Amino acid sequence: MLSWNTTSEENTSHFIVERSLNGRSFTSIGKVQAANTPGNHSYSLTDRSITSLGVSAVYYRLQMIDLDGKFRTSPVVVLNINSKEPALTLYPNPAKEQANLAVTVQKNMQVTIQLIDGLGKTIQMQTRTLTQGNNLLALDIKTLPAGVYTLDVKGIDFDKKIQLIKQ
């Protein structure tokens, strides 16, 4: 299941979810109508053919289509199939007060999460126990100055980094 959230919709018509098997050529796999109203909204689309694709990684992106036909394309998100490493998604990004880290793991595990500033200094650090499946961690960033940060998520056998932009 692919899911995304919006925090403010203005003149938004719909979303097109696109998939690629090579990270370059994308095709539409579905359309989701936008609420086009102020406030927070959650959306999802299930890619039911993913298990029959015969690949180890699938690439997704989202097109946000405005009422006037103009559109913006999201960054590409990679889903590693049969990977033992956790899948990480950070949203919203850029963020103002809170960023959410969605982590999907195949088994219970302990992770250390560090927020590092542009000079390499650890600003926040926490250790969490994640349970098998989907986990959602809220990161309070409202007191941080605007800038680019690195979120470093470490486990026993992995170390993943994600860039976070604080507005």
Same domain, 162 and 94: yes
Q: Give the pLDDT of residue 128.
A: 93
Can you give the pLDDT at residue 75?
Answer: 84
Instruction: Classify 51 as helix, strand or coil.
Output: helix
pLDDT digit string (tens) for 50-72?
A: 766 667 678 899 999 999 999 99
Where in the sequence is the domain holding 130, given as residue range(s)? 84-166
Note the pLDDT of residue 83. 66
How far apart, in whole angstroms, are the C-alpha atoms of residue 54 and residue 99?
Answer: 34
Cβ neighbours around 109 below 10 Å, total: 18
66 and 91 within one domain: no
Tell me, yes or no, whether 57 and 122 share the same domain: no
Last residue of a domain, one of 45, 79, 113: 79
> How buried is 62 (Cβ within 10 angstroms: 0-12 exposed, 13-18 middle, 19+ buried)?
buried
Q: What is the pTM of this model?
A: 0.56
Q: 5-55, pLDDT tens digit by residue? A: 888 888 999 999 999 988 889 999 999 999 999 888 999 998 887 766 667
If one counts the domains in the chain, the total is: 2
Q: How far apart are CA 20 and CA 59, in angstroms?
A: 5
